[in-house]
Amino acid sequence: MGFFTGFKVTFKQIFKPRVTISYPEKKHPKPERFHGRHVLNRYEDGMEKCIGCELCAGVCPAKCIYVRGADNDPNNPTSAGERFGYVYEINYLRCIHCDLCVEACPTEAITESKMFEFSFTNRQDAIYTRQELVVADDGHPKKMPWEDWREGDDLHTSAWMRATSPSGDASYEGVPSWSGELGYGVREPEKGQSVSETDSFEQLPPKGGSKN
C-alpha cells in the first residue's frame, strides 16, 4: 500500500499549477524598489552629479566603497560642485545592497538599478571603477559583458522612488523633488499616502485605550 500511496501523491502534483519558470529565459518581475547594481548619474546637461564628498563611503556598513575627490578644473569642470569623484570604486564581492549609500548622497549622484546578475571570471571584474559606474552619454548605464541586463532594469531605481516623498511627509505627494536626469528628464513622482488619509489615521484612538 505504501508503494501506491507514494504514486498517488506524485500524480496529484501533475494537475497542480506550475510554480517554476524557465530561468534564465523567463524571469519574475522585479519590485519597484529592488536594489541592484549601482550607477553614477549625470545632470541633463551631462555634468556629473558626484561631488566627491565621500559620504557614501563613510556610511557603507560593508566598507565596499572607496572614493577620493579632486578639485574641478575651472575651465572644464566635471561636476557642478567645487570637487568631483576623481576615484570611485565599489567592490561587489562585499556589497550587501543595503541602499544606505543612496540615502546618504546629497546630490542624487548614486542610485541602484534592478540589474543584480553578475558572472565574474576574475576578482578585478567585481571591483567597479568610476569609468564603469558613470552613465554613458545617453544617460543609460554602461553594460559590462558579464552582466545580464533586461528591459526596465534601469527604470524607477530605489533612489527615485524614495526621494519623491521627503521624510514620508504626505504633503509632498505628487511633487517631483529631484533634478532632471540625463536620458530621462524629470521623472514622474511617486504617489503615496494622501493628507486626507493621514488625517484619518490621526483620528484613531491609541492602542489599549480611548481617544478621550
Q: Which whole number is the average pLDDT over 164-174?
A: 64
Residue 192 reports pLDDT greater than 70 = no
Each residue of 140-153: pLDDT tens digit? 999 999 998 988 89
Place of cell 561587489: 92
Q: Which whole number is the average pLDDT over 12-35?
A: 82
CA-closest candidate to residue 133, choices 190, 165, 162, 95: 95
Distance between CA atoms of 7 and 66, rounded to whole angstroms? 58
Q: What is the pLDDT of residue 209?
A: 47
> Could you tell me how far CA 143 lies from the centroid of its own chain?
16
Q: Which whole number is the average pLDDT over 55-63?
A: 96
Each residue of 99-149: pLDDT tens digit? 999 989 988 899 999 999 888 888 999 999 999 999 999 999 999 999 989
> Could you tell me how far CA 40 lies from the centroid of its own chain?
11
Q: What is the pLDDT of residue 201?
A: 43
From the options 3.30.300.30, 3.30.2130.10, 3.30.70.3270, 3.40.50.360, give the CATH code of 28-193.
Answer: 3.30.70.3270
Contacts of residue 86, Cβ cutoff 8 Å, sequence gap at least 6: 52, 68, 69, 70, 130
Each residue of 92-103: pLDDT tens digit? 999 999 999 998
Residue pair 159/108 in contact by the 8 Å Cβ criterion: yes
- Radius of gyration for the chain, computed over Cα atoms and rounded to the nearest angstrom: 23
CA-closest candidate to residue 97, choices 64, 52, 58, 128: 64
**CA 190 vs CA 144, 154, 162: distances in Å:** 30, 16, 8
Binned at pLDDT 50, 70 and 90, residue 198 comes out as very low
Residue 208 reports pLDDT greater than 50 = no
Percent of the chain at pLDDT exceeding 70: 82
Domain map of the chain by residue range?
A: 28-193
Distance between CA atoms of 78 and 136, rounded to whole angstroms? 14
Q: Which residues on neighbouring strands pair with residue 67, listed in sequence order?
A: 88
> pTM of the entire structure?
0.76
Residue pair 43/11 in contact by the 8 Å Cβ criterion: no
Asked, as a colleague might, if the bond just before 141 is cis with ω within 30 of 0, I would say no
